[in-house]
Amino acid sequence: MNILYYDCAVIGAGAAGLCAGARTAEKGLKTIIIDRESHPGGVLLQCIHNGFGLHYFKEQLTGPEYAGRVTANALASGAVLMMDSTVTEIRENGKEKLLTVYSGKDGVTLIHTKSVILAMGCRERCRGNLGIPGDRVAGIYTAGAAQKLLNMQGVLPGRTAVIAGSGDIGLIMARRLSWCGVDVKLVTEIMPYPAGLSRNIAQCLEDFNIPLRLSTSLTGIYGKDRVEYVTVAPIIDGKADHSKEEKIFCDTVLFSVGLIPENELSRSCGIKLHPVTNGPVTDSNSMTGIPGIFACGNVLHVHDLVDFVSREAETAADNCVQYIAGMDKEETENNIFPVSPEGDLRYCLPCSCKKGKDVCFYMRSSAVRRKARLTVSCSNTLLAEKILNYVKPAEMISLTLEGEKLCSFVPGSKISVTLSPVEE
């Protein structure tokens, strides 16, 4: 059995883990980044299209290019990569954390660390999560699985396809399949608005004349050995109207119906999860309810752009460095302010903040609004305001609040973050 000692252990070597690990190592913490895959970069490695890095690197990159840069940054900073390794347990060990790691090469490794940054990313929902009836046949994939099959293994998943859900990976795969000669018959979406970014609707569907049917449900998948056809029906009053069901003949079905943060490890070590995001509940220090364990990226909440994942990871890393520097000092003053999302907001992170510390709120709308007002208030006093010309659930909203604005309020007072429509 191997025993290792580190200041910071980052779990996950995607964009979040690599950026967080680079930052902590750069700031002087002895850092290890652990991932179950054989190569760092996460899902970026299979995203061969461009459009990444416009905010973070100020230029347009493909997924592998972005992954290569953040991997190089992590290695240059002195972070250690531990690949083909799976963290199975996180335990308290005094003021330290004890990680149990398994790998085929090294067997069991115990890692003693002063802090942990969770950056495990997310996974796709699949047919089983939705309970779509029909036959168990070949030709059914998640959009990400089909993307990996095509982009990394050079295997065409089918010849005619229907895509269930208008998430960004599904939209990008609609275009990718079309480039390869696959006839994409239809993209369905149960909501009355698209789930993906507006630019992907335009560039991946409209530019290729691929039809998108909103308020439409995939109601069945049928075939003998492989998919032969699917049935779709319009959603009326919240339910699929089977009287208007129709057949769409195809040999392949892709599901792009949302992502789920990978939080089995978080749950097993007792971290409280958010009921909406399914990620950890964190404060303005990016810290979970367990001192010394931080979270960032898609394991915290699903992002729309990897650039924002990288920035959030660096913030978590900075907070981790500050925690290590003062880990022997007990905080005596209760200066916590709970955060409440209101109006048209589905959620707002972090779930609490502290006076005197600037905080960037990340949130998503629960409705499409052509114009909306975003406000932050405490005890009926307006602290910040922002007018948004267009909001939709697929696109994340952010707003930074200066921590000094909370200094005059009593700790424990609720901070309300509210999104409301503006009449035009």
User: pLDDT tens per residue, the chain (424 residues)?
Assistant: 899 999 999 999 999 999 999 999 999 999 999 999 999 999 999 999 999 999 999 999 999 999 999 999 999 999 999 999 999 999 999 889 999 999 999 999 999 999 999 999 999 999 999 999 999 999 999 999 999 999 999 999 999 999 999 999 999 999 999 999 999 999 999 999 999 988 999 999 999 999 999 999 999 999 999 999 999 999 999 999 999 999 999 999 999 999 999 999 999 999 999 999 999 999 999 999 999 999 999 999 999 899 999 999 999 999 999 999 986 554 544 678 999 999 999 999 999 998 888 899 999 999 999 999 999 999 989 999 999 999 999 899 999 999 889 888 988 899 999 999 997 6
The secondary structure of residue 153, as a DSSP letter, is H
Helix, coil or strand: residue 172: helix
The DSSP code sequence of 274-305 is -TTT-SB---TTSB-SSTTEEE-GGGTS--S-
Note the pLDDT of residue 330. Answer: 47
Task: Please compute, for residue 141, the number of CA atoms within 13 A of its CA located in the half-sphere on the CB side.
Answer: 21
Q: Which domains does the chain have, with CATH numbers?
A: 1-124+258-330 (3.50.50.60), 126-257 (3.50.50.60), 332-424 (2.60.40)
CB-based contact 28:317 (threshold 8 Å): no
| Closest to 103 (Cα-Cα) out of 35, 40, 43 | 35
Written as one letter, the residue type at 30 is K
pLDDT confidence of residue 329:
53
What angle do helix axes 306-325 and 15-26 make, rounded to 10 degrees? 40
Provide the sign of the torsion angle of the four alpha carbons 291, 297, 303, 306, taken in this order: positive
Q: How far apart are CA 100 and CA 90, in angstroms?
A: 7
Instruction: Measure the CA–CA gap between 223 and 216, rounded to whole angstroms.
Output: 21
pLDDT for res 403: 85
Query: Looking at the DSSP assignment, which residues form a beta bridge with residue 187?
Result: 163, 212
